[in-house]
Structure 1
Amino acid sequence: MNKLLATLVATLFAGAVFAQATPATPATPATPAKPAASAAADKPAAKAEKKATKKATKKAPKAKKAASS
């Protein structure tokens, strides 16, 4: 009985070692995805800048009219 038990344990160890064989090529991690939030965050800032320049161009002719009268 002891020989049978020793044989079973040895077989289990051998099977575990065989199952954990190292792969031929190491695994390479996937490239991380680029966050889409940065593109979405830039839009409001660009929109605000566009509004500010539009307001400034509207105010400029009014200021010239006030200065000339």
Structure 2
Amino acid sequence: MILYSQFWQVNAGREYGVSGTALDWELDWTAPWEHLVEESRACSLLEASEAPVGDAIFVVPSWIDRSDLPPER
């Protein structure tokens, strides 16, 4: 599940952060895992569709797996 994405540009051999879409999306961590994955996917697709474009721009997603969460009680 993608938590957020960062956009970077390479110029003259150095990396610089690039402003992204500024879509502030938050997940309801009380929701079931399946719902979190669906919401994350929808928000990530929207973010990708509005991402900055360029030859030297790349994205670095930060993600977690279900096993990264504390056990359910």
What TM-score results when the alignment is normalised by the length of structure 2?
0.29
Larger RCO (alpha carbons 8 Å, 6+ apart)? 2
Structure with more strand by fraction: 2
What TM-score results when the alignment is normalised by the length of structure 1?
0.30
Mark the structure with the bigger radius of gyration. 1
